[in-house]
Amino acid sequence: MKIQEELFLPKGKIPSRQHISEEEKFMNTALEYHRCMVQPGYLAVSDRPAVLCAVCGNGVIIVLRDRVKKIGGVAYCTSLKDVRSEKPTNFHADVAIYSLVRNFLGMNSYKRDLEAQIFGGASPEGSGQKRVKKILKTCRKVFKKLDIDIVSEDVGGRVGRKVMMNTLSGEVAVLKTNRIRRADWASRVAGYQY
């Protein structure tokens, strides 16, 4: 199992004066968030405030959150395990989901507090459509088996997605784009360089 290491932002310095504007509070809080760009076949889980990001075309991004403990995780899978002799990896949707859930349970989460979201699965010009449909079907089946609610889906279509998850608030931002470029994988999140 591959777990992507978290990358850290420098800690913000809160001014010493007593009256701090809301904007300054927000900026100082934002600087204390950890950041992680999740690439295909990887997952990231954080029990600290973090921004977890992924960019996908016809892959599937799985977001899992413990709404009580404020733990968040993202997995990016691109295939299904279709041969029994094939080694299971987080590239496979079912393996990635079970890996995420195991990580959450290892952090003392309860399954009843978990909620899932699924993004991606675009089929530009119809390419990979059957594979993507199978991946999405598997994701739904595994979450149903685990009795974890899927609270949101944004799947299918012809455009890729850039996904950012705030583990503290549970908010997820999705940007749909016609162009997935190599530059999208650069180590940049929310205007900060790694």
> Euclidean distance between the first and final Cα of the chain, in Å?
24
pLDDT at residue 32, rounded to an integer: 64
pLDDT at residue 140, rounded to an integer: 94
Under a CB-based contact definition with an 8 Å cutoff, are residues 92 and 82 in contact?
no
pLDDT at residue 102, rounded to an integer: 95
Task: List the chain domain ranges.
Answer: 32-181
Domain boundaries 32-181, corresponding CATH code:
3.30.1330.200
Look at 181 and 89; give whichever has higher pLDDT. 89
Under a CB-based contact definition with an 8 Å cutoff, are residues 170 and 66 in contact?
no
Q: Kindly state the helix (H) or strand (E) to which residue 138 belongs, with its residue range.
A: helix 129-146
